Amino acid sequence: MIDSSREMQRGNRLRALIPYLFVLPAFLIFALFVLLPILDTVRLSFFDWTGFSAPNFAGLANYIELWTDRLFITGLGNNLRFILFYTVFPIGLALVLTAVMTRRRIRGMSLFRAGYFIPYVMPMVVVGVVWRWIYNPAFGPLNQALGAIGLDALARPWLGDFDAALPAVGLIATWVQYGFCMVLFIAGVQKIDESLYDAAQVDGASAMQQLRHITIPGIRTEISVALVTTFIAALRIFDLVFVTTRGGPGDQTMVTSLWLYRNAFQINRVGYAATIAVAQSVLILAISAVLLRFTRTSDQEEVAQ
Amino acid sequence: MFKKQSVVLTLSLVAVIALGMFAAPLAAQGNTTLVVWDNLVRPEESAIMDALIARFEEAHPGVTVARTAKSTDDLKATTALALSSPDGPDVAMVNQGQSDMGALVAAGLLEPLDDYAEQFGWFEHFPAGLASLQRWTPDGMQMGEGDFYGIPIQAELVGVYYRTDLFEQYGLSIPTTLAEFEAAMATLAEAGETPLVFGNLDAWPGIHLYSEIQNAELASREWYDQFMFTTGEVDFDIPENIAAAARLQEWIANGWLLKGFEGIGYDDAWQLFSAGTGAMLLTGSWLSGELLPGPHGADIGFFVLPALEEDGFKLTVGGTGYDFSIRAGSPNVDLAAEYINYLYSEETAQALLDAGFLPVYPVDTSTLEDGLVKDIVLGWNHLNSTDSVGYYMDWVTPTMYDTITASLQELMAGRVTPEEFVDVVNADYVAFLLEKGVR
Amino acid sequence: MTSGAADRPLTLESAATAFIAWLRRLLRRIPIYAFLILFLLIVALPFISISLAAFKTSAELTRGAFTLPAEWRWSNFSDAWTQAHFDWYFRNSAIVAVPVVAVGTLLSIFSGYAFGLMRFPLSRLLFALFLLGIMVPQEAYIIPLYYLLRGIGLVDTYWAMILPQIGMSVCFGSFWMRGFFSSFPADTLDAARVDGCSIWTALWRVLLPNAGAAISTLVVLLFIWTWNDFLIALVVVSSDTLRTLPLGLAFFQGRYASNVPLMAAGAIIVLLPTLIIYVLFQRQFIQGVTSGTLHG
């Protein structure tokens, strides 16, 4: 009896270890090459450091400076504006595309799908080159097209225009980002039980109703992944701005990551750059936690039902 | 069936790990390998470097020069980290200025080169006005004093490329005063031409345009020397700088700059000029090699933007390309110095000139044929003989580049007045003076 | 439901009805096709223009973006491939991307499984740490990462690109696979347990065979991110021989600023493998989606 209960205990203890064994390999590599440098970044945020000289302890000085740093605050405001173009538009667009593409048989579907996904596949350097050309006021097709249909009045030096620059960059973000959401949603639709749609069809539900009552609830997990990920992408946007406007004109498209990059790589203020990173991450963390909590509650509701 | 296929796909990918994981990096080993980083990436420059290195290796048996060319942005992002590494490059190209060479000197990452300069006699052939840009005090705060840390091989100056055929067509000649230059722009604009091709989407070209107007307004070099060497004696908010900002706004209001310049990149702007748009282009001598082979290459000349008054003094934005410096702690310091000496030689200079580039090392220019390259060389010689090589003002403080580019875009869009513009720039400048302790 | 015209005798009337029905179906679909095509044109125009540019001469470029080249210059591609060393860069990118995607996917499946379907102490904390990896931008910790890699002697090796990118991949991967596993129908899983499946066999026999869509999506995304990574490769690798494609492309842009056709050809070389991977893997699961529709 004693033996067997010991064995059982040992078995239970081993059983309790199983989840950790599944997580361990991923966690080890992550901990060493991502988590450790991130923790080091937190440490560095309390230092004055060029990145290659001896660091000087600075206490809270960097954080105090951040509070009144005009470029950080401007950047943060622009990050929030970019949410519209990174999260709202792409998710909406991807939902429409998913609805159109998954519920009926369409000739040449793989061509459409591959075509729609191209923007997300393009390297950022290329995105920058192409869109700077599209927006070019001297020979870009956008202003030429506006001219051709008699809308010269709307033509402007898009990326260099103080009012138009942020929406112009934002539209590129939407163009890049919706493909990501689309892929997530199409993957999610596969799990939906086909009989739900059949029943709906029998009931005479319209395509719109099916989207609202079957597809969207069915891919709620994917939508929440898309929501969190694109939202984070909007708050850490860097390369798109770097290859189009570099924050200009003036500071109209300045974002926190660009300011971080300049501090770290151009003006040798790695300590302060770390402070920006910490502040930015805390903010992202807080808002993601709210978003994740929101989606988790709905998971539980489903279980309760 | 797709399900099984997916699993098979995943598994086959896992199998490929083995291949990927054990593909070890290759490393070439000679007797002595001199690792050099430069930013000479344009095809002609790069070819010259490769040829020179081949000759250097021939003259030094057992030496391999491992060259890595990096674009300017990449070089900026990686040089400091690499120079702090025990296996970093032996020779690297470093930009002048406080946040580049100054910061590297402060961190003790660069080898002082005074002894080599003496040994090889570099200063005997080095334009005197340029020598102070490579000297730094050990704390990296004061330029122009202390040890000597690098030597550049290419010279550059900012001026006006112009279309000789269009100037002839409209009866224009090379302007000798700023007023004549403005009159020429007015004539061209009236004739429906774009007077000045310019694109400021990348923000830095604005510095050159503004600085050139500013240099004309200043009409002496005292203020600028004090300003750049951050002595604490001068401020940015002086009437000349305000006047220059106002003049820039006036040029824009007159429609003398390429329409839509706010949204046009630097490369797009010069390519438009190269393809036939506009009559003039204000930028650096470094583009001569690109413009010459263009469709109007034979009809392009170059002049230095004139002073306010005829034969008056005017600085001209210019100086040198990046410096060749040696990493402190390099095991091959002597060899690295020999390499730099080889690059700073008449042979190299002649090779650069032959390819249409402007060398720092003085060369015989009497045999040059008329044309763009000769215009540029004469312009450079003029600057040296009158001691009027000016500055890139974005070097002056670590944050000046960001401050001046952003505020110039505001100025050009008419969102700030000239007075507000100089105030913003001055605030950046004074903050640095305070940090440095000269205020 | 009636089973169609076959039962009835073929009359003019029935043929007309069938034709009208067919026409109505067609008409109903026209807006959908119009939408799909219009949208494709809008999003693919930049791609089309860059593809055309890749075949042109520099002089032809100024004549308009959508004019056809006078002669299709394949030589731009061979120039990019050989002269600009895209053959090396391509090889390097593959050496980095393949292990990152393979290991990243496998490890993410394991950790996502644990996070999604097992309850254990600290699971929420561990999961939150992984999320940190998604939230903190690379620019923020790339310099500490550089020093770390230098400390263990990995700077300027393939490992310096591979290991950190596996670490980053498992962050999103765990997040994504957890989402898949946690939304897996509970009754199917319970049935498997009743059948005596162990944790391990449940994963391989029940879960993974249904995870085709989730896994191929993950593979595609991880591949894109790794293939297009720029910053890590820029900072941790300095030898020309170790450069990956995006670095090569950026270098190329500085080097041939005036040679847009060559740049465009380089861009296509960078872009094609990812697109092919997407098409390859998408077919895997979208066939599942649409075949399900047809059967239903």
3-state SS record for B203-263: CCHHHHHHHHHHHHHHCCCHHHHHHHCCCCCCCCCCHHHHHHHHHHHHHHHCCCECCCHHH
Cβ-contact A259, A173 below 8 angstroms: no
Number of Cβ pairs < 8 A linking chain B and chain C:
112
Please judge whether A132 and B265 are an interchain contact, meaning their C-beta atoms are less than 8 angstroms apart: yes
More confidently predicted of B124 and C27: B124
pLDDT tens by residue, C130-176: 988 888 888 888 889 998 998 898 988 999 999 999 999 999 999 99
Amino acid C35: pLDDT: 85
Using CB atoms, pick whichever of A29, A184, A198 lies closest to residue C163: A29
Using CB atoms, pick whichever of B81, B263, B405 lies closest to residue A137: B263
Cβ-contact B148, B117 below 8 angstroms: yes
Spatial separation of the C-alpha atoms in residues C103 and A199, rounded to whole Å: 42
In a domain, C128, yes or no: yes
Over residues C20-38, mean pLDDT? 81
Amino acid B1: pLDDT: 37
Rounded to whole angstroms, what are the CA distances from B123 to A303, B112, B357? 82, 15, 21
Tokens 């009437």 correspond to B239
pLDDT band at A15 (very low <50, low <70, confident <90, very high): confident
In a domain, C69, yes or no: no
Query: Helices in B254-332 by DSSP H: which ranges?
Result: 266-275, 288-291
pLDDT tens by residue, A281-302: 888 888 888 887 776 645 444 4
Please judge whether A267 and B264 are an interchain contact, meaning their C-beta atoms are less than 8 angstroms apart: no
Q: Which of residues 145-204 of A touch B (CB under 8 A)?
A: 156-162
- pLDDT of A58 > 90? The answer is no
Please judge whether A51 and B80 are an interchain contact, meaning their C-beta atoms are less than 8 angstroms apart: yes
Q: Provide the mean pLDDT of chain C.
A: 81
Tokens of A140: 């870009």
Tokens 């151009």 correspond to A266
Q: What angle do CA A154, A164, A73 make, to 5 degrees?
A: 165
In a domain, C270, yes or no: no
Q: What is the DSSP letter of C208?
A: G
Using CB atoms, pick whichever of A41, A126, A141 lies closest to residue C267: A126
pLDDT tens by residue, B26-61: 333 448 899 999 988 777 788 888 999 999 999 999
Please judge whether C241 and B26 are an interchain contact, meaning their C-beta atoms are less than 8 angstroms apart: yes
Please judge whether C155 and B46 are an interchain contact, meaning their C-beta atoms are less than 8 angstroms apart: no
In a domain, C221, yes or no: yes
Q: At CB < 8 A and 24+ separation, what contacts does A25-28 make?
A: A25/C107, A25/C110, A25/C111, A26/C107, A26/C108, A26/C110, A26/C111, A26/C130, A26/C170, A26/C173, A26/C174, A27/C111, A27/C126, A27/C129, A27/C130, A27/C170
Spatial separation of the C-alpha atoms in residues C279 and A44, rounded to whole Å: 44
**Which of A129, A260, A267, A269 should one mutate to test binding to chain B, selecting the residue with the greatest count of B CBs within 10 A?**
A267
- Chain C within 8 Å of A295 (Cβ-Cβ)? no
Tokens of B347: 């042979």
Q: Least CA distance to B99: which residue of chain A? A: A267
pLDDT tens by residue, A185-210: 988 887 787 888 888 888 888 878 88
Per-residue confidence in pLDDT tens, chain B, 439 aa? 344 454 444 444 444 443 344 333 333 344 889 999 998 877 778 888 899 999 999 999 999 999 988 887 788 888 888 898 888 899 999 988 888 898 899 989 999 999 999 999 998 888 777 778 889 999 888 888 899 999 999 999 999 999 999 999 999 999 999 999 999 999 999 999 999 999 999 999 999 999 999 999 998 899 999 999 899 999 999 999 999 999 999 999 999 999 999 999 888 898 889 889 999 999 999 888 888 888 898 999 999 999 999 989 999 999 888 999 999 999 999 999 999 999 999 888 988 888 888 898 888 878 888 889 899 999 998 998 888 999 999 889 888 998 999 999 999 999 999 999 999 999 999 999 998 888 8
Tokens of A250: 């003036």
Q: Which of residues 38-97 of A touch B (CB under 8 A)?
A: 50-53, 71
Amino acid B243: pLDDT: 97
pLDDT tens by residue, A97-146: 888 887 667 777 778 888 888 888 888 878 888 888 889 888 888 888 88
Tokens of A85: 């173009």
Amino acid A10: pLDDT: 64
ipTM: 0.83
How many domains is chain C built from? 1
Please judge whether C258 and B290 are an interchain contact, meaning their C-beta atoms are less than 8 angstroms apart: yes
Amino acid C11: pLDDT: 77
> Is B398 in a helix, a strand, or coil?
coil
Q: Find chains touching chain B: ≥3 CB pairs under 8 Å.
A: A, C
Cβ-contact A37, C136 below 8 angstroms: no
Region of C283 (left: φ > 0; alpha: ψ -120 to 50; beta: rest) is alpha
Q: Least CA distance to A70: which residue of chain B? A: B403
Give the domain CATH number at C97: 1.10.3720.10
pLDDT band at C41 (very low <50, low <70, confident <90, very high): confident
Spatial separation of the C-alpha atoms in residues B404 and B211, rounded to whole Å: 11
pLDDT tens by residue, A235-257: 988 889 988 998 989 999 999 99
Query: Helices in A31-88 by DSSP H: which ranges?
Result: 36-44, 61-67, 70-83
**Which of B1, B3, B39, B87 should one mutate to test binding to chain C, selecting the residue with the greatest count of C CBs within 10 A?**
B3
Q: Least CA distance to B80: which residue of chain A? A: A52
Using CB atoms, pick whichever of A135, A160, A268 lies closest to residue B398: A268
In a domain, C43, yes or no: no
Cβ-contact A299, C182 below 8 angstroms: yes
- Chain C within 8 Å of A195 (Cβ-Cβ)? yes
Amino acid B428: pLDDT: 95
Q: Are strands B32-38 and B91-94 parallel, antiparallel or unpaired?
A: parallel
pLDDT band at C7 (very low <50, low <70, confident <90, very high): low
Cα distance from A286 to chain B (closest Cα, Å)? 31
Please judge whether A183 and C136 are an interchain contact, meaning their C-beta atoms are less than 8 angstroms apart: no
Q: Find chains touching chain A: ≥3 CB pairs under 8 Å.
A: B, C
Cβ-contact C261, C69 below 8 angstroms: no
In a domain, C149, yes or no: yes
Range of the domain at C116: 84-255
Q: Provide the mean pLDDT of chain A.
A: 85
- Chain B within 8 Å of C284 (Cβ-Cβ)? yes
**CB neighbour class for A81 (10 Å; exposed up to 12, middle 13-18, buried from 19):** middle
Amino acid A5: pLDDT: 55
Spatial separation of the C-alpha atoms in residues C43 and A117, rounded to whole Å: 9
Cα distance from C207 to chain A (closest Cα, Å)? 12
pLDDT band at A304 (very low <50, low <70, confident <90, very high): very low
Cβ-contact B113, B281 below 8 angstroms: no
Please judge whether C50 and A126 are an interchain contact, meaning their C-beta atoms are less than 8 angstroms apart: yes
In a domain, C210, yes or no: yes
**Which of B21, B201, B272 should one mutate to test binding to chain A, selecting the residue with the greatest count of A CBs within 10 A?**
B201
Q: Could you tell me what percentage of chain C is helix, strand and coil, using 3-state DSSP and rounding each to the nearest 5?
A: 80, 0, 20
Amino acid B216: pLDDT: 95
Q: Which of residues 29-48 of B touch C (CB under 8 A)?
A: 37, 41-43, 46
Please judge whether B263 and A162 are an interchain contact, meaning their C-beta atoms are less than 8 angstroms apart: no
Cα distance from B71 to chain C (closest Cα, Å)? 6
Spatial separation of the C-alpha atoms in residues C224 and C240, rounded to whole Å: 22
Residue type, C68: L
Q: What is the largest CA-CA distance in chain A?
A: 92
Q: With beta carbons under 8 A apart, name residues in chain C contacting A106.
A: 32-33, 36
- pLDDT of C50 > 90? The answer is no
Within 13 Å of residue C21, how many CA atoms lie on the same side as its CB?
8
Tell me which of 1.10.3720.10, 3.30.70.270, 1.10.10.60, 1.10.150.120 is the CATH number of domain A74-304. 1.10.3720.10
In a domain, C73, yes or no: no
> Phi and psi dihedrals of B157, rounded to 5?
-145, 150
Which structural domains are found in chain B, ordered by start?
Answer: 32-154+321-363 (3.40.190.10), 156-318+389-436 (3.40.190.10)
Please judge whether A132 and B272 are an interchain contact, meaning their C-beta atoms are less than 8 angstroms apart: no
